[in-house]
Amino acid sequence: MESLNDCIKEYTVQLQKGQIQKAYKGIMSFMSELKNDMQSKYPAYVSSALYFGYMDMTYFAFTPFTLKKRKFKIAVVYLHEENKLEVWLGGSNRRIQAEYIALLQNKDIGDYALSQMKPGLDSIVAWTLVHQPDFDQADEVKEIVERNVIAFANRMVSILGE
C-alpha cells in the first residue's frame, strides 16, 4: 500500500504536467455555466451552490419547488472517475432516502435506476445523462443535460405525486 507521501509525490508530478488543472478548470466552468443557464431559464426551480467535491463528484441541486417542499432534491452530478454526467433524485436526509427507496421498489420508474441504501450513497433514483461528454462541444452537452434533467424532474414529480 502506498503511503500518503508517495501519493502526494505522484499528485505533484501530475500537476506539474498542467493537464489536470486545465481539465479541472474546464469541468468546473462547464458545471457553473450549466447551473447558471438552467437557473435563468427555469425560475420555478430552486438551485443550490455548486459543490466542487474532492475530485470524485461535482454537483448542484436543481429542484422543482413542488419536490423541494417535500424534502426532495434533484442533483446534476459529474462523476470524475467515470467521466459521466448523471441526474439523481435525493432526499434531504437518510430517513427520507430509505423510505422512498422502499416505496419505489414496486413502482414503474422506467429506465431509471433505483438506488440501494449504502454508506456514502446520496440518491434514491439515478439516471446517466451523458457518458464521456465531449466538453469541446459544451453547448450541445448542456442542451442534452438540460432537456433530460427537466424530463427526469417531471417524471419524478409524476411518480411521487404532487
Q: What is the DSSP string of 78-144?
A: EETTTTEEEEEEEESSHHHHHHHHHHHTTS--TTPEEP---TT---SEEEEEEES--GGGHHHHHHH
Average pLDDT for 127-144: 97
If you average pLDDT over residues 74-84, what whole number do you get? Answer: 97
Cell 454526467, residue located = 85
pLDDT tier at 92, thresholds 50, 70, 90 = confident
Lowest mean per-residue pLDDT among 6-10, 21-25, 114-118? 114-118
Which helix (H) or strand (E) segment is 57 a member of?
strand 57-64
pLDDT value, residue 37? 97
Cβ atoms of 115 and 124 closer than 8 Å: yes
Pairing of strands 57-64, 45-47: antiparallel
CA nearest to 71, candidates 79, 81, 61, 80:
61
Q: Give the β-pairing of 84-91 and 45-47.
A: unpaired
Write down the domain spans for the chain. Answer: 4-160
Average pLDDT, the chain: 93
Confidence of residue 117 (pLDDT cuts 50, 70, 90): low
Q: Contact 61/46 with Cβ under 8 angstroms?
A: yes
Q: Which of 16, 29, 141, 11 is nearest to 85 (CA)?
A: 141
pLDDT of the residue at 162: 55
Condensed to tens digits (0 to 9), the pLDDT of residues 16-35 reads 999 999 999 999 999 999 99
Structure pTM? 0.92
